[in-house]
Structure 1
Amino acid sequence: MKIGYRTIKTAVGTPIAVSIAQLLGLTNFVSAGILTILCIQSSRKRSFVTAWDRFLACAIASIYSFIFFELFGHNPIALGMMLIAFIPTTVFLHITSGIATSSVIILNLYSASSNPTSFLMQQFLLIIIGIGTALLLNLYMPSLDKILEDKQKELEDKFQEILFQISRYIRNNEEVWDGKEIIESEEMLNKANNLVERDIENHFIRNKHPYRDYFRMRYRQLEHLKAMLPLASQLERADALSERIADYFERLSKNVYPENTAIIFLNELKELRASFNLEKLPTTREAFEVRSNLFQLLHEVEDYLKIKQKYKKTDIKLVKRYERKRQESQE
């Protein structure tokens, strides 16, 4: 089982906060550790926002507790009255994330027989130590670039398999594929997008992210891949034209990577469509349906490739290398 950075930060920060509070001789020093646990976040931006919300909520809770307990005594009724006033205040100020953190200070003040000013000041020190320790630890966030790079490679492998299985079905009409790569690709894209958003929150001056556009592009392409599957599954017979399209899909499956070589396959697509014009018109309903599905399949492929073309400039070197290899293989 893998231990995450958030767990490590909690394990490191809690004893540090407790130790500082204990060294300062503060009452309820363990509360500093509880506050640290509650304030550890998954991103820098979120930690700064929630730190301010929690500090403000704790400060308000301390003042409300001091007033209500001094006026009405330390009893459940006074506690309930205080919460009736405190919680709407946090809602009004949009700092409800600080309610759980504030409960630590509220219960500290409630459990004391009296709340002299010195004890109230100790609670403020506990707030500063607990939230401050968590904030300092949250300044360090591990880079997600390697994880996102791995997600990118895994996703491209899934796309390659999907395209290959489409080519296989067009050629052999074999229904041996369970289509799990489609579901896995969707799950992978959702996880990758969540990671991208978290990585953006870890960089205060970064509004754009190279992987955000990439995964959005792949998500749009996946929709077209899903649209291709029913079209391919309706091809009940293969002819010379469908064989060429199967070869086209197989080549396409071997060229799924971050670089943009979409122009190559868009040009090949024009050649395939030209082949349609040279073929005789279908004479049977079955042949017409096959031809219609093949034509629609090429339309989906074109949209799939154009999405990649809009995402990134064409990589000329890779295009030339591909065309050179293709010419050599034809010779």
Structure 2
Amino acid sequence: MSFRIGYRTLKTAVGAGLAVAIAQGFNLDFYGSAAIITVLCISVTRRDSLKVSWARVVACIIGMAISGILFELIGYQPWTLALIMLLFIPIVVMLQMNTGIATSSVIILHIYTVGEISTALIINELLLIVVGVGVALLMNLYMPSSDQALRTYHKDIEEHFKTILHELSVYLRHGESEWDGKEIYETVDLLQKGKNLALKNIQNHILRYEDQYYYYFKMREKQFDILERLMPYVSRIHHTVEQSETVANFLDELSKSVSPANRVPYFLERIHLMRKGFEEMPLPKTREEFEVRSSLAYIMHELEEYLHIKDRLWNQADKKKL
């Protein structure tokens, strides 16, 4: 296993040192705790960092209030500390601020160690929280850009879609194919990774709750489900008919047009004309031809839905490029 230092590790190390330096600069007691708070508040995304930091601040204030009251009323004893935890933990869990338990425990132990509650101690603990949380938020201002990786996933998925559509057209045209289907499994992986990264990218923007890449991966995921449904119907067509060539040509053209551009209206019109043309053709003469034409009709129906998915999400994304 190779040794490497990631950006989050670097931020954590720098943040811990900076928090201690600031706390020492203010002559705060227990200044090392500022580093602990900073380390605990540095998160994977900016939005998560804000959420965690808020939970820790509120939980610390609740912890100081409960411990200050009980220590003064009952005494600074280990069993008092146990009682405080019995009350404090369920309260923060009820408020859905579980992430603040560890930080608050440090603050509560400071009060227990000093053995008395005072204005100076409360100010000291509040400043430790402010320094620790503030430095963590400062460190989390930097997040590496995901744009290059998202563009790569976007490009790779489109290339895989082109290959899949083309290979389906080859099978319809010849009734066989040497394609090993590896793009199917790779596309599943690419879609999952791309969508996860797009969601993480959204979490790194405080006020943004949607993203053009998220819409893109969502669209392709739904379209891929349709391609998977098509495959059993395509694979059972071993006897080619006139309509097979027409649908194969359509798939081939569709494969060459997989891109961010919205050509849905053109291809929907093509399907409409194909269906109209098929209806005007003579009825099938054999059972085999009837089954092939039924499968082709189903394939056209699914391809129409494939196109409608892009059209719907195109509008949903407020005409952002997909």
**Secondary structure of the corresponding residue to residue 205 of structure 2:** coil
- The answer to which of 282-291 and 64-73 deviates more is 64-73
Distance (whole Å) between structure 2 residues aligned to residue 234 and residue 61 of structure 1: 67
- More divergent stretch after superposition (186-195 vs 35-44): 186-195
**Who is 2:55 aligned against?**
53
Partner of 2:65: 63
1:24 to 23, 26, 29: 26
Shift of 1:58: 0.9
Residue 115 of structure 1 corresponds to: 116
Report if aligned partners of 2:170, 2:177 keep a CA contact under 8 Å in 1: no
Q: Which amino acid aligns with 1:81?
A: L
Q: Do the aligned residues in 2 keep the contact of 1:32 with 1:127 (CA within 8 Å)?
A: yes
Quote the residue 2:167 is aligned against.
165
Task: Please report how far the alpha carbon of residue 8 of structure 1 lies from its aligned counterpart in structure 2 after TM superposition.
Answer: 3.0
TM-score by length of 2: 0.85
Q: 1:103 to 1:169 in 2, by over 3 A?
A: farther
Give the alignment of 1:1-331 within 5 angstroms: 4-110=6-112, 112=113, 114-117=115-118, 118-174=120-176, 176-312=178-314
Distance 1:116 1:312, change over 3 A: closer
Query: 1:35·1:104 contact (CA, 8 Å) conserved in 2?
Result: no
Shift of 1:288: 1.4
* Displacement after TM superposition at 1:139 (Å): 2.8
Post-superposition Cα deviations, 1:186-239, rounded to whole Å, max 9, x if no partner, equal 443333333333333433443443233322222221221121111111112223
Is this contact kept in 2: 1:189–1:219, CA < 8 A? yes
Secondary structure of the corresponding residue to residue 287 of structure 1: helix
Residues 150, 213 of structure 2: 8 Å contact kept: yes
- Alpha carbons 2:167, 2:177 under 8 Å: kept: no
Letter of the structure 2 residue corresponding to residue 291 of structure 1: R
User: Does the residue aligned with 2:142 lie in a helix, a strand or coil?
Assistant: coil
Give the Å deviation of 1:113.
5.4
Q: Which stretch shifts more, 240-249 or 189-198?
A: 189-198
- Inter-CA distance 3–270: structure 2 relative to 1 (3 Å threshold): farther
Output the TM-score relative to the length of structure 1.
Answer: 0.83
Separation of aligned partners in 1, 2:145 and 2:304? 36
Cα distance between partner residues in 2 of 1:180 and 1:15? 49
Distance 1:77 1:175, change over 3 A: farther
RMSD (Å), alpha carbons: 2.6
Deviates more, 1:141-150 or 1:51-60: 141-150
> Deviation string for 1:34-89 (max 9, x for gaps)?
11111012333332232222101012212323333444445442222111111122
**Deviation (angstroms), 1:13:** 0.9
- Counterpart CA distance in 1 for 2:5 and 2:277 is 57
* Distance (whole Å) between structure 1 residues aligned to residue 169 and residue 216 of structure 2: 25
Percent identity, aligned pairs only, is: 43
Q: Which structure 1 residue ranges, 5 or more long, are not aligned?
A: 314-331
**In 2, are the aligned partners of 1:74 and 1:113 still within 8 Å (CA)?**
no
Equivalenced residues, count = 312
